[in-house]
Structure 1
Amino acid sequence: MAVRAVELPQLWMPYPLRVNPFLSALREESESWAREMGMLDGHQGPSGRQAIWTRSAFHAMTVDQLTAWTLPDASLADLRLNHRFNVWALAWDDYFASAFKQNGDLAGALAFTTRLRAFLRPEYGARLPEPTNAVERGIADLQQYLFPPRLAHWRQEFNRALESYIDAGVKELANSRSGRVPHLIEYVPFRRESFAAHTAAYSVELATGARIPRQIRHTRTVRALLDAFMDFMGLANDIASYEREVHEELDVNNLVLIVETSLGISRHEAVPAALNLVNTRLRDFEHLRQKELPLLVRRYGLRHEERAELAKWLRGACSFLSGLHAWYTGAPRYAASDVSHQA
């Protein structure tokens, strides 16, 4: 599947793109789960609402490439599982935009989000409501498979991250309705929630089978590294989706607009300032990975096998970021969003 390249030369990415060898197998079955959940046209759920995507629109998103680019080390089974999660996250995003953002329906968004939260149960085997639309069917199905025994420790944290993700949609809609542009200081940590970035460490662990060693998992250095890791994801997405969000959806929750308002500068000045902020967070991640983490490892006396596991997780995290970068700068979903020439 060809993708159209988009020039974003200022968006720095030091890690090489690696591609999962099972991409072709994933591509062949890419739409099967989405169609089964009622996300593609030709299927109407019990609510009677039209499907979220046409077949051509679905394939234009190249979710199969996103998954294979971000998780090059995953087995085919794990790749399929993360692909379904990626499809679901994009389905929620596009459904929420068309059903509530376009008409400013805050009450409808609240009701939809309240129901969806009932599907995010931290208890294994919890009884879920009967799904009434494609988004609910998708998350109900995923809850059966996301937490096998080796990832059971993720159940509460992952579902909390998804609750924050869907709640953030309501907050974004409220901001857009009132015309309130968030301040940069509050927006950066909020963007981790609105991008579901807190689930990314799960995806890396799923693909690599490696975890950050327990002894250092909650240290300041590792927390800072994870924050920088998550910040690149959401903030780089703001650069890539600027045109669609700000001009098409009239959304005020975008880094370029927020930098412009928070710093009191022009849009022309805000674009490079926003790009510089994204690049700075990636440089922070790289500094912590290369300089501070080795000192921490020695200070805590990690054994050889623990160091190897950490190195494996970090390699997966770097690949995750390079895969996202490739998708942002090459997928047709963002093809009209090159802000480097926006006034």
Structure 2
Amino acid sequence: MTVQAVKVPMPRMPYPLRVNPHLAALREESETWARETGMLGGDGAPSAHRAIWTPSQFHAMAVDQLTAWALPDASLADLRLNHRFNLWALAWDDHFAAAFKRTGDLTGAKAFTARLHTFLPAAPGPRLPEPVNAVERGLADLQRQLFPPRRAHWQQGFNRALARYVDAGVQELANSRAGRVPDLIEYAQFRRDSFAAPTAPYSVELSTGARIPERIRHDRVFRAVLDAFMDYMGMANDIASYHREVHDEHDVNNLVTVLEASLRITVQEAMRAAADLVTARLRHFEHLTRSELPPVVERAGLGPGERIELEAWLRGARGFLSGLHAWYTGAPRYAPADGPFQEQRGLPTRAARQPPRLWRSALQ
């Protein structure tokens, strides 16, 4: 089966798409930080020794759209901060792919990653090294902005998640060099780390101003809610980015490839199985929040204020997933360079019908 013949059955999305009212302001300044850090350059081809993106590549990502869709309730200040984090994560991904994945340079990848760890302190206080490239400059700036006193409780968990994110890149490269397709069970947890999914609950908190109540944060049911929330993100991304990762970057770390190898089925069958699995994780998220979480809240004796915060956080989490879905189904970043997939959009909701119109207006 040729690449162009593969149909991409994007998973369902029941939550309506909402757009942050500050999108226009974010769009006007979206290039500023990328240029200041050296991520965005001129029209020359990107390389490991120059800027990561050309202007055309940068605008094709439409990260301002992603941020405004995923965080519809954020203030302009918090939207800007999340936007910079999204830019940094994509900059790391594209730099790592160009400098190490496409060259197979595992030694260089390990050295680059070890340097990034020095920008991820477990506690406030240590002086950061002097950045020497765009990825380090962006990360150093984020460290200065992410942890003021009102968010001091983030630092250990957030930086631990980022450390696992950059470490996962090295493991992905090692797998690809060895031709080792991850085991299906192993891959579920690994994909959370390689997508930086554990940072998403913090982004939702920043967007909504609502903290997950401490009395249920570590409860088994709420942990399952978080796991389902995080699984949807990375696994849905694997479907959208299949062509980019597997055929352009020769990566074996993709849910479709994992299912194809583990179940010994065709690529098209693996695509359908991946979509079914992603949909199942979203349904589990819905089931947990509607049926199993309310008794946990009752047993924990959460007060009215805590319940309001939990509801605000859950609404933000639903908006986060809806925004990601809209981006996955419309971003030019995921369109194959040699022609589009034959797409199969089984998306009955109003939210699924909105992105194409929004993308056309956003990219004009």
TM-score bracket relative to the smaller structure? over 0.9
Query: Which consecutive segments of 4 or more residues in structure 1 shift more than 2 A?
Result: 7-10, 335-341
Equivalent residue number for residue 115 of structure 1: 115
Aligned to 1:242: 242
SS of the residue 2:30 aligns to: coil
2:62 aligns to what? 62
What one-letter code is carried by the residue in structure 2 that aligns with 1:263?
L
For residue 199 of structure 2, what is the aligned residue in structure 1?
199
Alignment-derived partner of residue 187 in structure 1:
187
How far did residue 9 of structure 1 move? 5.4
Aligned to 2:351: none
1:145 corresponds to: 145
Contact 1:242 1:339 in 2 (8 A): no
Say whether the 8 Å CA contact 1:104–1:177 is kept in structure 2: yes
**Matched AA of 1:132:** V
* Separation in structure 1 between the aligned mates of residue 247 and residue 305 of structure 2, nearest angstrom: 50
1:125 Cα deviation from its structure 2 partner = 3.0
Task: Check conservation: 1:240, 1:338, Cα contact below 8 A.
Answer: no
Aligned length in residues: 333
Question: Secondary structure of 1:145's partner?
Answer: helix
Q: Which residue of 2 aligns with 1:3?
A: none
User: Structure 1 residues 174, 239: closer, same or farther in 2, change over 3 A?
Assistant: same
Which residue of structure 2 lines up, in the alignment, with residue 270 of structure 1? 270
2:79 and 2:125 map into 1 onto residues whose CA distance is 24
Contact 2:184 2:262 in 1 (8 A): yes
Q: Structure 2 unaligned segments of length 5 or more: list them.
A: 1-6, 345-364
- Are 1:102 and 1:249, in contact at CA under 8 Å, matched by a contact in 2? yes
Choose 179-188 or 144-153, whichever is displaced more: 144-153
> Is contact 2:9–2:275 with CA below 8 Å preserved after alignment?
no
Alignment correspondent of 2:29: 29
Distance 1:309 1:123 in 2: 26
CA distance in structure 2 between the aligned counterparts of 1:159 and 1:56, rounded to whole angstroms: 31
The answer to whether structure 1 residue 125 and structure 2 residue 125 are counterparts is: yes
- Alpha-carbon deviation of 1:8? 5.5
Structure-1 separation of matches of 2:22 and 2:91: 23
5 Å matches for 1:298-309?
A: 298-309=298-309
Whether the 8 Å contact between 2:43 and 2:54 is mirrored in structure 1 is: no
1:33 offset after TM fit, Å? 0.2
Q: Tell me how large the CA RMSD over aligned residues is.
A: 1.7
In structure 2, distance between residues paired with 1:214 and 1:136: 33
C-alpha contact (below 8 Å) 2:88/2:135 kept by paired residues: yes
What is the deviation of 1:306? 1.2
Q: 2:140, 2:80 → 1: CA distance?
A: 16
Amino acid at match of 1:14: P
1:40·1:58 contact (CA, 8 Å) conserved in 2? yes
3-state DSSP of counterpart to 2:169: helix
Verify the 8 A CA contact 2:27 2:64 in the aligned structure 1: yes
1:176, 1:253 within 8 Å by CA — same for their partners in 2? yes
> 2:10 touches 2:329 (CA, 8 Å); kept in 1?
no
Q: How far is the alpha carbon of 1:123 from its aligned partner?
A: 2.6
Tell whether the 8 Å contact from 2:42 to 2:55 is kept in structure 1 after alignment.
no
State the percentage of identical aligned residues: 70
The equivalent of 1:169 in structure 2 is 169
Query: How far 1:11 sits from its partner (Å)?
Result: 1.0
Change (3 A) 1:48 1:269: closer
Which has the larger displacement, 249-258 or 265-274? 265-274
Report the CA distance shift for 1:91/1:339 in structure 2 as closer, same or farther (over 3 A): farther
Distance 1:322 1:334, change over 3 A: same
Provide the C-alpha distance between the structure 2 equivalents of 1:148 and 1:128, rounded to a whole number of angstroms. Answer: 16
Whether the 8 Å CA contact 2:239–2:255 is kept in 1: the answer is yes
| Amino acid in structure 2 at the alignment position of 1:74 | A
CA distance in 1, matches of 2:328, 2:341: 10
2:297 matched residue in structure 1: 297
Aligned mates of 2:313, 2:130 — CA distance in 1: 37
Contact 2:16 2:322 in 1 (8 A): yes
Matches within 5 A, 1:225-236: 225-236=225-236
Q: Deviations over 1:14-39 (max 9, x none)?
A: 10000000000000000000000001
Alignment-mate amino acid for residue 147 of structure 1: F
Q: Secondary structure, in 3 states, of the residue corresponding to 1:128?
A: coil
| C-alpha displacement of 1:121 | 1.0
Measured in 2, the distance between the counterparts of 1:131 and 1:295 equals 49
On the 8 A contact 1:243/1:339 being kept in 2, the answer is no
Write the deviation string for residues 97-126 of structure 1: whole angstroms up to 9, x where unpaired: 000000100000001001111111123231
**Deviation per CA, 1:227-249, whole angstroms, max 9, x where unpaired?**
00000000000000000101111
Alignment of 1:59-98 (within 5 A): 59-98=59-98
In structure 1, give the amino acid aligned to 2:70. Answer: T
CA contact (8 A) 2:17 2:69 kept: yes
Per the alignment, do residues 96 and 339 of structure 1 end up closer, same or farther by CA in structure 2, a change over 3 Å counting?
farther
Shift in Å, 1:338: 4.5
Aligned-partner Cα distance in 1 for 2:213–2:342: 40
